[in-house]
Amino acid sequence: MRIEQHLRQIFGFNTFRPGQQETIESILNGEHTLSMLPTGTGKSLCYQLPAYLLPGAVIVVSPLLSLMQDQVEQLKMKGEKRVIALNSFLHFKEKTAALAQLHRYKFIFLSPEMLQFPHVLQALRSLSISLFVVDEAHCISQWGYDFRPDYRLLGQVRKQLGSPLTLALTATATKKVRKDILEKLQLTNVTEWVFSVNRPNIAIKVEQLSDSIEKQERLKELVSFFHKPGIIYFSGRKAAEEGSWQLKKAGITRTAFYHGGMNTEERLLIQHQFLNGELDVVCATSAFGMGINKQNVRFVIHYQMPSQLESYLQEIGRAGRDGKPSIAVLLYVPGDEKLHEFIAEAEFPDEGQIRQISEHKIALRDVQPPLTEIQERFVAHYMKEAKQNNEQPAAFISQVRTDLLQEKADKRMAMKEWIVSKTCRRAAYMRHFDEKNLPLKQPQCCDQCGLDLNQFKNRSQAKQVNGRPNWRQVLSELLPEK
């Protein structure tokens, strides 16, 4: 019973969500655990709660800086002070100070790059580590959505830390990927909790349109019609800005855009405005959503198809965290998949760039045209791997590139097949994750099984955006007189 008491006292919840209790209990029994819980069901609770029952520190490896910061912020808002994030954005001085004080922290968040530094590992080794958490564990697998080369070294790191009790968390991993996760982490005797990726409260609709003008019109129609708040995903920064502008022109004034090209402060503000209910709609790229804990998102629209079903599920999973009916709509114009072909190509260095590095020994920074950050990390990682395997670097890296591109092309195909298929959308995505049981019949399932859009209609009065009061009023509202 004591874990339920903690749930109430620290986290203020009365009941667990599916999968949380099972995961927590198996950790407390000292079993290595891999948990696959559907997106939006509170994965972080699975390590946060045990942390309070275990004597030592909890190390959390997280792939994205912003995700890490969101989690740190959420813990701090719960009143937890013993939390720190170690990442490359810390200044040297701060890092040294933090490392010297590491024993004072209960939660230590790290990016995988940080674990490559000997002095960081050294500092971690001096701690008593109760739990080693790999968040978004699918990043470790080449076959997984959002593969991060640095994640592949986590198995080695884990050993160097004395093979502590380990929890791997993911929302989207096929059987193949799950097997890969365990292998790469060098884990045996693992308790696996695999829950259905199905989110019954999210209705699914795919709409095929003939061209982009029609799509634009349909977007305005849908967004005006739907109960808000909602998120619209676009495949690029420009498209997201343009979309938000179009919607505002159509009278949906409480709309903003969000993408990786904005600076940190601005992104944070949009996030806070959305969380505080000051925005109805965010037009975003995939950079938006991870780690954002908003319960009442009522719709997610994809203005372009995502590059794979895994991303699709992650993104629609941001709707309906409160368990209430929500809807996901994907707008598709034949040929939309082409865009992802270009995006995928651009993620990797081309043959010329690879040769400059491996044959002409040009420093990564001086390659022409210059490498993006992701490309640079890719090359650096596989140069090392080629050396370790005694492979000729150029050929080795080219081969990896070809394999990964093929993998992406396959995933793109699967996504497209899902879009054009004429069977139950829910059953189809569950099959993709090797689930044997079919979903129960439900009234608001998908456009194939039947679905009533009116259920998602906006019933409340549109919020009026009043002109701001004059500055004296604004100021005395912000800083009241006693």
Out of 9, 265, 369, 460, name the contact with other proteins by CB under 8 A.
Answer: 265
3-state secondary structure the chain: CHHHHHHHHHHCCCCCCCCHHHHHHHHHCCCEEEEECCCCCCCCHHHHHHHCCCCCEEEEECCCHHHHHHHHHHHHHCCCCCEEEECCCCCHHHHHHHHHCHHHCCEEEECCCHHHCHHHHHHHHCCCEEEEEECCHHHHCCCCCCCCHHHHHHHHHHHHCCCCCEEEEECCCCHHHHHHHHHHCCCCCEEEEECCCCCCCEEEEEEECCCHHHHHHHHHHHHHHECCCEEEECCCHHHHHHHHHHHHHCCCCCEEEECCCCCHHHHHHHHHHHHCCCCCEEEECCCCCCCCCCCCCCEEEECCCCCCHHHHHHHHCCCCCCCCCEEEEEEECCCCHHHHHHHHHHHCCCHHHHHHHHCCCCCHHHCCCCCCHHHHHHHHHHHHHHHHCCCCHHHHHHHHHHHHHHHHHHHHHHHHHHHHCCCCHHHHHHHHCCCCCCCCCCCCCECCCECCHHHHECCCCCCCCCCCCCHHHHHHHHCCCC
Considering only 221, 266, 345, 434, the residue that binds other proteins (CB under 8 A) is 266
Question: Residue 482 interacts with other proteins (CB under 8 A)?
Answer: yes
Among 156, 196, 273, 286, binds other proteins (CB under 8 A): 273
Q: For other proteins, how many residues bind (rule: CB under 8 A)?
A: 31
Span interacting with other proteins, options 195-203, 268-276, 314-322, 374-382, rule CB under 8 A = 268-276
CB of 296 to other proteins, least distance (A): 17
Which x/- pattern, by CB under 8 A, does the window 454-473 give for other proteins?
--------------x-xxx-
30, 342, 454, 481: residue in contact with other proteins (rule CB under 8 A) = 481
Indicate the residue among 342 and 471 with the shorter CB distance to other proteins: 471
> Least distance to other proteins from the beta carbon of 422, Å?
43
Rule CB under 8 A: say whether 293 interacts with other proteins.
Answer: no
* 275 part of the interface to other proteins, by CB under 8 A: yes
Query: Which CB atom, from 164 or from 289, has the smaller least distance to other proteins?
Result: 289
> By CB under 8 A, is residue 9 in contact with other proteins?
no
For the window 46-85, what string marks contact with other proteins as x by the rule CB under 8 A?
A: -----------------------x---x---x--------
> Per rule CB under 8 A, is residue 270 in the interface with other proteins?
yes
Is 264 one of the binding residues for other proteins (CB under 8 A)?
yes
Report the residue number, 278 or 407, with the smaller CB distance to other proteins.
278
Contact call for residue 278 and other proteins (CB under 8 A): yes
Give the binding site for other proteins (CB under 8 A): 69, 73, 77, 94, 256, 262, 264-266, 268-273, 275-276, 278, 468, 470-472, 474-482
